Protein backbone atom coordinates (compact mmCIF):
# COMPACT_ATOMS: atom_id res chain seq x y z
CA UNK A 1 0.00 0.00 0.00
CA UNK A 2 1.32 3.44 -0.93
CA UNK A 3 0.58 6.77 0.69
CA UNK A 4 0.52 10.31 -0.60
CA UNK A 5 2.84 12.88 0.92
CA UNK A 6 0.01 14.67 2.74
CA UNK A 7 -1.37 11.66 4.58
CA UNK A 8 -2.76 12.15 8.09
CA UNK A 9 -1.14 9.39 10.15
CA UNK A 10 -2.85 8.10 13.27
CA UNK A 11 -2.27 5.09 15.45
CA UNK A 12 -5.05 2.65 16.25
CA UNK A 13 -4.13 -0.10 18.69
CA UNK A 14 -7.63 -1.52 18.35
CA UNK A 15 -6.91 -2.62 14.77
CA UNK A 16 -3.68 -4.47 15.60
CA UNK A 17 -5.17 -7.90 15.02
CA UNK A 18 -6.92 -7.04 11.76
CA UNK A 19 -4.46 -4.94 9.78
CA UNK A 20 -0.81 -4.76 8.89
CA UNK A 21 1.47 -2.16 10.51
CA UNK A 22 1.18 0.19 7.55
CA UNK A 23 -2.59 -0.11 7.60
CA UNK A 24 -2.75 0.47 11.35
CA UNK A 25 -1.15 3.90 11.11
CA UNK A 26 -3.11 5.06 8.10
CA UNK A 27 -6.62 6.00 9.14
CA UNK A 28 -7.15 9.05 6.96
CA UNK A 29 -4.98 9.04 3.86
CA UNK A 30 -5.23 9.59 0.15
CA UNK A 31 -4.36 6.00 -0.67
CA UNK A 32 -3.22 5.10 -4.17
CA UNK A 33 -4.04 1.44 -4.19
CA UNK A 34 -7.03 0.37 -6.17
CA UNK A 35 -9.18 -0.56 -3.18
CA UNK A 36 -8.81 2.77 -1.45
CA UNK A 37 -9.13 4.69 -4.70
CA UNK A 38 -12.48 3.12 -5.48
CA UNK A 39 -13.83 3.33 -1.91
CA UNK A 40 -16.77 5.69 -1.56
CA UNK A 41 -17.35 6.75 2.03
CA UNK A 42 -21.01 7.06 2.85
CA UNK A 43 -20.36 9.74 5.46
CA UNK A 44 -18.01 12.51 4.41
CA UNK A 45 -16.65 13.45 7.84
CA UNK A 46 -13.16 14.31 8.94
CA UNK A 47 -11.56 12.55 11.86
CA UNK A 48 -12.14 15.68 13.98
CA UNK A 49 -15.82 15.91 13.05
CA UNK A 50 -16.31 12.21 13.68
CA UNK A 51 -15.16 12.60 17.27
CA UNK A 52 -16.68 15.95 18.23
CA UNK A 53 -19.83 15.88 16.15
CA UNK A 54 -22.21 18.80 16.28
CA UNK A 55 -20.13 20.54 18.96
CA UNK A 56 -18.24 22.07 16.01
CA UNK A 57 -21.29 22.56 13.79
CA UNK A 58 -21.71 26.09 12.56
CA UNK A 59 -18.13 27.11 13.15
CA UNK A 60 -16.35 25.47 10.22
CA UNK A 61 -17.33 28.08 7.63
CA UNK A 62 -16.28 31.03 9.77
CA UNK A 63 -13.12 29.25 10.81
CA UNK A 64 -12.09 28.43 7.22
CA UNK A 65 -12.70 32.01 6.12
CA UNK A 66 -10.21 33.17 8.75
CA UNK A 67 -7.63 30.53 7.83
CA UNK A 68 -7.59 30.56 4.04
CA UNK A 69 -4.06 29.20 3.87
CA UNK A 70 -4.90 26.14 5.91
CA UNK A 71 -6.21 22.90 4.45
CA UNK A 72 -9.42 21.33 5.68
CA UNK A 73 -8.84 17.89 7.24
CA UNK A 74 -9.27 15.04 4.81
CA UNK A 75 -12.47 12.98 5.09
CA UNK A 76 -12.24 9.61 6.81
CA UNK A 77 -13.32 6.55 4.84
CA UNK A 78 -15.97 4.42 6.54
CA UNK A 79 -13.80 1.33 6.91
CA UNK A 80 -11.08 3.39 8.64
CA UNK A 81 -13.49 5.56 10.54
CA UNK A 82 -14.97 2.43 12.14
CA UNK A 83 -11.57 1.72 13.68
CA UNK A 84 -11.16 5.17 15.21
CA UNK A 85 -14.68 6.00 16.40
CA UNK A 86 -16.40 3.34 18.46
CA UNK A 87 -19.58 5.14 19.45
CA UNK A 88 -21.89 7.84 18.21
CA UNK A 89 -22.22 10.28 21.09
CA UNK A 90 -25.47 12.20 21.00
CA UNK A 91 -24.88 15.69 22.32
CA UNK A 92 -27.61 17.10 24.58
CA UNK A 93 -29.57 20.13 23.62
CA UNK A 94 -27.50 23.26 24.45
CA UNK A 95 -30.31 24.34 26.78
CA UNK A 96 -30.21 21.06 28.72
CA UNK A 97 -28.16 22.07 31.77
CA UNK A 98 -28.99 19.29 34.21
CA UNK A 99 -25.42 18.06 34.38
CA UNK A 100 -24.15 21.63 34.76
CA UNK A 101 -26.48 22.79 37.54
CA UNK A 102 -26.22 19.51 39.45
CA UNK A 103 -29.85 18.44 39.13
CA UNK A 104 -28.74 15.24 37.40
CA UNK A 105 -25.47 13.33 37.37
CA UNK A 106 -24.91 12.29 33.79
CA UNK A 107 -21.14 11.93 33.74
CA UNK A 108 -18.20 11.54 36.12
CA UNK A 109 -16.57 14.79 37.13
CA UNK A 110 -18.75 15.95 39.98
CA UNK A 111 -15.66 16.00 42.19
CA UNK A 112 -14.51 19.12 40.40
CA UNK A 113 -17.70 21.10 39.98
CA UNK A 114 -19.52 23.75 41.99
CA UNK A 115 -17.72 25.40 44.92
CA UNK A 116 -15.87 23.32 47.48
CA UNK A 117 -18.48 22.60 50.11
CA UNK A 118 -18.16 19.54 52.31
CA UNK A 119 -19.11 16.47 50.25
CA UNK A 120 -20.72 18.78 47.64
CA UNK A 121 -23.54 19.62 50.04
CA UNK A 122 -25.69 22.67 49.29
CA UNK A 123 -24.34 25.92 50.70
CA UNK A 124 -26.99 27.75 52.71
CA UNK A 125 -27.16 30.90 54.80
CA UNK A 126 -27.20 29.71 58.41
CA UNK A 127 -26.31 32.93 60.19
CA UNK A 128 -29.27 35.12 59.24
CA UNK A 129 -32.00 35.22 61.94
CA UNK A 130 -34.60 36.01 59.27
CA UNK A 131 -34.00 32.56 57.76
CA UNK A 132 -34.28 30.42 60.90
CA UNK A 133 -37.73 29.21 59.89
CA UNK A 134 -37.41 29.58 56.12
CA UNK A 135 -34.25 27.46 55.77
CA UNK A 136 -34.82 24.18 57.63
CA UNK A 137 -32.16 21.49 57.85
CA UNK A 138 -31.30 18.55 60.09
CA UNK A 139 -27.50 18.49 60.09
CA UNK A 140 -25.22 21.45 59.41
CA UNK A 141 -21.50 21.61 58.67
CA UNK A 142 -19.71 24.72 59.96
CA UNK A 143 -16.05 25.67 59.53
CA UNK A 144 -14.10 27.19 62.42
CA UNK A 145 -10.93 28.73 60.92
CA UNK A 146 -9.07 29.33 64.19
CA UNK A 147 -5.61 28.28 65.39
CA UNK A 148 -4.57 30.91 67.94
CA UNK A 149 -4.89 28.41 70.79
CA UNK A 150 -2.14 26.04 69.68
CA UNK A 151 1.04 25.31 71.61
CA UNK A 152 3.06 23.77 68.76
CA UNK A 153 2.19 23.81 65.07
CA UNK A 154 -0.11 26.52 63.70
CA UNK A 155 -2.01 26.31 60.41
CA UNK A 156 -5.33 24.79 61.52
CA UNK A 157 -7.07 28.02 60.51
CA UNK A 158 -6.79 26.52 57.02
CA UNK A 159 -8.28 23.24 58.26
CA UNK A 160 -11.90 23.84 57.19
CA UNK A 161 -10.80 24.57 53.63
CA UNK A 162 -8.45 21.59 53.60
CA UNK A 163 -11.08 19.19 54.92
CA UNK A 164 -13.63 20.42 52.39
CA UNK A 165 -11.10 19.80 49.62
CA UNK A 166 -10.39 16.39 51.14
CA UNK A 167 -14.10 15.57 50.91
CA UNK A 168 -14.32 16.05 47.14
CA UNK A 169 -14.80 12.34 46.50
CA UNK A 170 -17.50 11.99 49.14
CA UNK A 171 -20.87 11.89 47.44
CA UNK A 172 -24.24 10.15 47.76
CA UNK A 173 -23.24 6.48 47.82
CA UNK A 174 -23.80 3.36 49.89
CA UNK A 175 -21.27 2.21 52.47
CA UNK A 176 -19.53 -1.11 51.82
CA UNK A 177 -19.79 -1.75 55.57
CA UNK A 178 -23.49 -0.89 55.78
CA UNK A 179 -25.12 -1.43 52.41
CA UNK A 180 -28.36 0.23 53.52
CA UNK A 181 -26.65 3.48 54.53
CA UNK A 182 -26.38 6.40 52.14
CA UNK A 183 -26.04 9.36 54.54
CA UNK A 184 -26.37 12.09 51.92
CA UNK A 185 -29.49 10.60 50.31
CA UNK A 186 -31.48 9.77 53.40
CA UNK A 187 -34.14 11.28 55.65
CA UNK A 188 -31.91 14.15 56.81
CA UNK A 189 -31.32 17.38 54.98
CA UNK A 190 -27.59 18.02 55.40
CA UNK A 191 -26.12 21.41 54.46
CA UNK A 192 -22.84 23.31 54.58
CA UNK A 193 -23.05 26.68 56.34
CA UNK A 194 -19.60 27.77 55.21
CA UNK A 195 -17.20 29.33 57.71
CA UNK A 196 -17.82 32.50 59.73
CA UNK A 197 -15.12 35.19 59.31
CA UNK A 198 -13.25 34.41 62.53
CA UNK A 199 -10.74 37.08 63.56
CA UNK A 200 -7.11 35.93 63.92
CA UNK A 201 -6.24 38.86 66.18
CA UNK A 202 -8.13 38.33 69.45
CA UNK A 203 -9.00 34.90 70.85
CA UNK A 204 -11.81 36.28 73.00
CA UNK A 205 -13.62 37.64 69.97
CA UNK A 206 -12.82 34.61 67.79
CA UNK A 207 -14.14 32.03 70.26
CA UNK A 208 -17.30 34.05 70.75
CA UNK A 209 -17.77 34.25 66.96
CA UNK A 210 -17.54 30.47 66.67
CA UNK A 211 -20.04 30.06 69.51
CA UNK A 212 -22.53 32.48 67.96
CA UNK A 213 -22.20 30.82 64.53
CA UNK A 214 -22.91 27.36 65.98
CA UNK A 215 -25.72 28.76 68.10
CA UNK A 216 -27.32 30.42 65.06
CA UNK A 217 -27.24 27.21 63.04
CA UNK A 218 -28.81 25.37 65.97
CA UNK A 219 -31.76 27.78 65.95
CA UNK A 220 -32.92 26.76 62.47
CA UNK A 221 -36.05 24.73 61.99
CA UNK A 222 -35.76 21.06 61.09
CA UNK A 223 -37.51 19.06 58.38
CA UNK A 224 -40.84 17.33 59.00
CA UNK A 225 -39.27 13.88 59.31
CA UNK A 226 -36.92 14.96 62.08
CA UNK A 227 -38.20 13.97 65.52
CA UNK A 228 -35.77 16.35 67.23
CA UNK A 229 -36.48 20.03 67.70
CA UNK A 230 -33.01 21.21 66.74
CA UNK A 231 -30.46 20.55 63.98
CA UNK A 232 -27.24 18.76 64.84
CA UNK A 233 -24.00 20.62 64.13
CA UNK A 234 -20.69 19.22 62.94
CA UNK A 235 -17.71 21.58 63.05
CA UNK A 236 -14.58 21.51 60.91
CA UNK A 237 -11.62 22.86 62.91
CA UNK A 238 -9.58 24.78 63.60
CA UNK A 239 -7.44 23.88 66.59
CA UNK A 240 -9.03 21.99 69.46
CA UNK A 241 -9.98 25.15 71.33
CA UNK A 242 -13.01 25.41 69.01
CA UNK A 243 -14.65 22.45 70.75
CA UNK A 244 -15.50 24.63 73.76
CA UNK A 245 -17.72 27.14 71.91
CA UNK A 246 -19.24 24.28 69.89
CA UNK A 247 -20.16 22.39 73.09
CA UNK A 248 -21.51 25.57 74.68
CA UNK A 249 -23.85 26.08 71.71
CA UNK A 250 -24.88 22.40 71.81
CA UNK A 251 -25.60 22.64 75.55
CA UNK A 252 -28.24 25.31 74.92
CA UNK A 253 -30.25 22.84 72.82
CA UNK A 254 -29.40 19.46 74.35
CA UNK A 255 -28.31 20.11 77.93
CA UNK A 256 -25.20 18.51 79.44
CA UNK A 257 -23.34 16.22 77.07
CA UNK A 258 -20.96 13.31 77.44
CA UNK A 259 -17.85 13.85 75.36
CA UNK A 260 -16.09 11.08 73.46
CA UNK A 261 -12.67 12.61 72.97
CA UNK A 262 -10.32 10.96 70.46
CA UNK A 263 -6.90 12.51 71.05
CA UNK A 264 -3.35 11.68 72.00
CA UNK A 265 -3.56 14.21 74.86
CA UNK A 266 -5.94 14.69 77.79
CA UNK A 267 -6.85 18.34 77.07
CA UNK A 268 -8.29 18.65 80.59
CA UNK A 269 -5.12 20.22 81.92
CA UNK A 270 -5.33 22.65 84.78
CA UNK A 271 -4.97 26.08 83.15
CA UNK A 272 -2.52 27.17 85.82
CA UNK A 273 -0.03 24.60 84.54
CA UNK A 274 -0.85 25.02 80.85
CA UNK A 275 -0.74 28.69 79.93
CA UNK A 276 -2.68 30.25 82.77
CA UNK A 277 0.35 30.79 84.96
CA UNK A 278 1.51 33.33 82.35
CA UNK A 279 -1.68 35.34 81.83
CA UNK A 280 -5.38 34.69 82.27
CA UNK A 281 -5.76 35.35 78.53
CA UNK A 282 -3.61 32.30 77.77
CA UNK A 283 -5.49 30.01 80.13
CA UNK A 284 -8.00 29.00 77.45
CA UNK A 285 -6.27 27.02 74.72
CA UNK A 286 -6.23 23.68 72.93
CA UNK A 287 -5.01 21.87 76.06
CA UNK A 288 -7.49 23.29 78.60
CA UNK A 289 -10.84 23.61 76.83
CA UNK A 290 -12.25 20.39 78.34
CA UNK A 291 -11.29 21.61 81.80
CA UNK A 292 -13.32 24.76 81.17
CA UNK A 293 -16.23 22.83 79.61
CA UNK A 294 -16.57 20.78 82.81
CA UNK A 295 -15.87 23.76 85.05
CA UNK A 296 -18.73 25.68 83.42
CA UNK A 297 -21.21 22.83 83.84
CA UNK A 298 -21.50 21.82 80.18
CA UNK A 299 -20.45 18.17 80.65
CA UNK A 300 -21.71 15.11 82.47
CA UNK A 301 -19.33 13.00 84.56
CA UNK A 302 -19.46 10.14 82.02
CA UNK A 303 -17.05 11.39 79.36
CA UNK A 304 -14.11 9.39 77.98
CA UNK A 305 -10.83 9.84 76.13
CA UNK A 306 -9.56 7.40 73.51
CA UNK A 307 -6.11 6.92 71.88
CA UNK A 308 -4.28 8.71 74.72
CA UNK A 309 -0.48 8.41 74.53
CA UNK A 310 0.96 11.91 74.94
CA UNK A 311 3.03 12.50 78.09
CA UNK A 312 1.49 13.99 81.22
CA UNK A 313 3.24 17.28 82.06
CA UNK A 314 2.32 16.99 85.77
CA UNK A 315 2.04 14.22 88.36
CA UNK A 316 -1.58 15.08 89.13
CA UNK A 317 -2.85 15.31 85.55
CA UNK A 318 -4.76 12.01 85.74
CA UNK A 319 -6.24 12.94 89.10
CA UNK A 320 -7.40 16.26 87.66
CA UNK A 321 -8.73 14.50 84.55
CA UNK A 322 -10.87 12.19 86.69
CA UNK A 323 -12.26 15.20 88.56
CA UNK A 324 -13.34 16.58 85.15
CA UNK A 325 -15.49 13.47 84.63
CA UNK A 326 -13.29 11.52 82.21
CA UNK A 327 -12.11 7.95 81.89
CA UNK A 328 -9.23 6.98 79.57
CA UNK A 329 -8.51 4.47 76.85
CA UNK A 330 -4.81 4.43 76.03
CA UNK A 331 -3.56 4.03 72.46
CA UNK A 332 -1.95 0.64 73.17
CA UNK A 333 -5.14 -0.74 74.69
CA UNK A 334 -6.15 -1.57 71.14
CA UNK A 335 -3.46 -4.27 71.12
CA UNK A 336 -4.95 -5.83 74.22
CA UNK A 337 -8.74 -5.53 73.81
CA UNK A 338 -9.08 -4.75 70.10
CA UNK A 339 -11.54 -2.40 68.44
CA UNK A 340 -14.55 -4.33 69.76
CA UNK A 341 -13.33 -3.92 73.33
CA UNK A 342 -12.82 -0.19 72.83
CA UNK A 343 -16.27 0.24 71.29
CA UNK A 344 -17.85 -1.65 74.19
CA UNK A 345 -16.00 0.41 76.80
CA UNK A 346 -17.01 3.71 75.17
CA UNK A 347 -20.68 2.73 74.93
CA UNK A 348 -20.80 1.55 78.52
CA UNK A 349 -19.24 4.79 79.69
CA UNK A 350 -21.41 7.36 77.92
CA UNK A 351 -24.75 5.55 78.09
CA UNK A 352 -27.88 6.78 76.33
CA UNK A 353 -27.65 10.52 76.93
CA UNK A 354 -26.60 13.24 74.47
CA UNK A 355 -23.10 12.58 73.11
CA UNK A 356 -20.62 14.94 71.51
CA UNK A 357 -17.76 13.30 69.54
CA UNK A 358 -14.58 15.29 69.03
CA UNK A 359 -11.67 13.91 67.01
CA UNK A 360 -8.19 15.36 67.02
CA UNK A 361 -6.37 13.91 64.03
CA UNK A 362 -3.35 13.35 66.27
CA UNK A 363 -5.30 10.40 67.70
CA UNK A 364 -4.01 8.68 64.59
CA UNK A 365 -0.38 7.89 63.91
CA UNK A 366 1.71 10.56 62.12
CA UNK A 367 2.17 8.10 59.27
CA UNK A 368 -1.58 8.36 58.70
CA UNK A 369 -2.19 11.98 59.70
CA UNK A 370 1.10 13.91 59.57
CA UNK A 371 -0.43 17.39 59.45
CA UNK A 372 -1.67 17.73 63.02
CA UNK A 373 -0.98 20.48 65.53
CA UNK A 374 0.88 18.27 68.02
CA UNK A 375 2.06 14.95 66.59
CA UNK A 376 2.65 11.90 68.78
CA UNK A 377 4.06 8.60 67.40
CA UNK A 378 2.35 5.31 68.14
CA UNK A 379 -1.21 6.24 67.24
CA UNK A 380 -4.04 4.33 65.63
CA UNK A 381 -4.41 3.78 61.92
CA UNK A 382 -7.23 5.47 60.07
CA UNK A 383 -8.90 2.08 59.59
CA UNK A 384 -8.85 1.41 63.33
CA UNK A 385 -10.29 4.82 64.17
CA UNK A 386 -13.00 4.57 61.51
CA UNK A 387 -13.91 1.07 62.68
CA UNK A 388 -14.37 2.36 66.22
CA UNK A 389 -16.39 5.37 65.09
CA UNK A 390 -18.69 3.24 62.94
CA UNK A 391 -19.07 0.86 65.87
CA UNK A 392 -20.66 3.61 67.96
CA UNK A 393 -23.93 3.27 66.05
CA UNK A 394 -26.87 3.58 68.40
CA UNK A 395 -25.47 6.39 70.52
CA UNK A 396 -27.38 9.66 70.69
CA UNK A 397 -24.79 11.74 68.85
CA UNK A 398 -25.98 15.36 68.87
CA UNK A 399 -22.82 17.06 67.62
CA UNK A 400 -19.17 16.64 66.81
CA UNK A 401 -16.04 17.96 65.22
CA UNK A 402 -12.73 17.01 63.63
CA UNK A 403 -9.85 19.31 64.49
CA UNK A 404 -6.14 20.14 64.35
CA UNK A 405 -5.78 19.63 60.59
CA UNK A 406 -2.95 21.90 59.46
CA UNK A 407 -2.79 21.76 55.63
CA UNK A 408 0.57 23.60 55.42
CA UNK A 409 2.15 20.54 57.08
CA UNK A 410 0.27 17.98 54.97
CA UNK A 411 1.74 15.92 52.16
CA UNK A 412 1.18 16.71 48.50
CA UNK A 413 -1.32 13.84 48.53
CA UNK A 414 -3.52 15.66 51.12
CA UNK A 415 -3.47 12.58 53.35
CA UNK A 416 -4.55 14.28 56.58
CA UNK A 417 -7.32 16.32 54.97
CA UNK A 418 -8.73 13.25 53.22
CA UNK A 419 -8.65 11.17 56.41
CA UNK A 420 -10.28 14.02 58.37
CA UNK A 421 -13.06 14.23 55.80
CA UNK A 422 -13.71 10.50 56.21
CA UNK A 423 -13.81 10.91 60.00
CA UNK A 424 -16.41 13.64 59.56
CA UNK A 425 -18.37 11.37 57.23
CA UNK A 426 -18.46 8.60 59.85
CA UNK A 427 -19.71 10.89 62.62
CA UNK A 428 -22.33 12.46 60.34
CA UNK A 429 -23.44 8.94 59.45
CA UNK A 430 -23.96 8.18 63.15
CA UNK A 431 -26.26 11.21 63.36
CA UNK A 432 -28.22 10.01 60.34
CA UNK A 433 -28.52 6.45 61.65
CA UNK A 434 -29.69 7.63 65.07
CA UNK A 435 -32.33 9.83 63.47
CA UNK A 436 -33.36 7.01 61.15
CA UNK A 437 -33.86 4.80 64.18
CA UNK A 438 -36.02 7.45 65.86
CA UNK A 439 -38.15 7.77 62.73
CA UNK A 440 -38.62 3.99 62.62
CA UNK A 441 -39.85 3.93 66.22
CA UNK A 442 -42.64 6.44 65.51
Cβ-based neighbours of 84, under 8 Å, separated by 6 or more: 10, 12, 27, 47, 50, 51, 76
Q: What is the mean pLDDT of the chain?
A: 85
Q: Which residue has the higher pLDDT, 114 or 334?
A: 334
Mean pLDDT, residues 149-166: 95
Which range, 29-43, 64-78, 89-103, 358-372, has the best average confidence (pLDDT)?
Answer: 358-372
Q: How far is CA 386 from CA 51, 163, 336, in A?
A: 45, 16, 18
Give the C-alpha separation, 363 to 372, whole Å.
9
Mean pLDDT, residues 71-88: 64
pLDDT in tens, 9-33: 333 333 334 444 344 334 344 444 4
Mean pLDDT, residues 388-404: 97
Question: For the chain, how big is the Rg over CA atoms in Å?
Answer: 29
Q: What is the pLDDT of residue 37?
A: 46
pLDDT band at residue 315 under the 50/70/90 scheme: confident
Give the C-alpha separation, 393 to 433, whole Å.
7
Give the C-alpha separation, 318 to 335, whole Å.
22
> CATH no. for residue 328?
3.40.800.10
Task: Show the DSSP H helices in 157-297 as ranges.
Answer: 159-166, 203-218, 243-254, 289-295
DSSP assignment letter at 139: E
Mean pLDDT, residues 29-44: 46
Strand spans (E) along 29-149: 139-144
64 in any annotated domain? no
Range of the domain at 210: 115-437
Q: What is the pLDDT of residue 236?
A: 98
Give the C-alpha separation, 153 to 159, whole Å.
12
pLDDT in tens, 128-144: 999 999 999 999 999 99
pLDDT in tens, 324-366: 999 999 999 999 999 999 999 999 999 999 999 999 999 999 9
Phi, psi of 249, rounded to the nearest 5 degrees:
-65, -40
Q: Which residue has the higher pLDDT, 299 or 171?
A: 299
58 torsion bin: left (phi>0), alpha (psi -120 to 50), beta (else): left
Is residue 34 scored above 80 in pLDDT?
A: no
Of 127-131, 275-279, 310-314, 350-354, which gets the smallest average pLDDT?
Answer: 275-279
Of 69-83, 163-177, 227-241, 243-257, which gets the smallest average pLDDT?
Answer: 69-83
- Give 3-state DSSP helix, strand, coil % of the chain, rounded to 5: 40, 15, 45
Q: Give the number of other Cβ atoms within 10 Å of residue 323's Cβ.
A: 14
Of 79-88, 333-342, 427-436, which gets the smallest average pLDDT?
Answer: 79-88
Q: Give the Cα-Cα-Cα angle 146, 149, 153 (nearest 5 degrees).
A: 85
Going by DSSP bridges, is the β-strand pair 326-330/354-360 parallel, antiparallel, or unpaired?
unpaired
22 in any annotated domain? no
Helix (H) or strand (E) holding 37: helix 34-38
Q: What is the pLDDT of residue 6?
A: 40
The overall longest dimension of the chain from CA atoms, in Å, is 97
Counted domains in the chain: 1
DSSP assignment letter at 183: T
Q: What is the pLDDT of residue 11?
A: 38
What interhelical angle do 382-390 and 415-441 show, nearest 10?
Answer: 10
pLDDT band at residue 55 under the 50/70/90 scheme: low
Is residue 49 scored above 70 in pLDDT?
A: no
Give the C-alpha separation, 85 to 14, whole Å.
10
Amino acid sequence: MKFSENCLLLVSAASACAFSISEQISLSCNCKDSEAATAKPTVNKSFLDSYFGNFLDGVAEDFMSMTKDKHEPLPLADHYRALAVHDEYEYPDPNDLRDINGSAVLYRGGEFGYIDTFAHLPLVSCFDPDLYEEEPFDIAIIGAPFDSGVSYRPGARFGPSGIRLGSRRLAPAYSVYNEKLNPYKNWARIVDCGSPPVTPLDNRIAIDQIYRANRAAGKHAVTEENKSKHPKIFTLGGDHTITLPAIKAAYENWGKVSVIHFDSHLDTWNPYYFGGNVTDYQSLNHGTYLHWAHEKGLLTDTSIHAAIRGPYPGKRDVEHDISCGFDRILARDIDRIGTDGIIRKIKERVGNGPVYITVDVDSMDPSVAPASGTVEPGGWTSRELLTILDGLEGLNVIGGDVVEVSPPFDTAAEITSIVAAQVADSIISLMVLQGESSIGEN
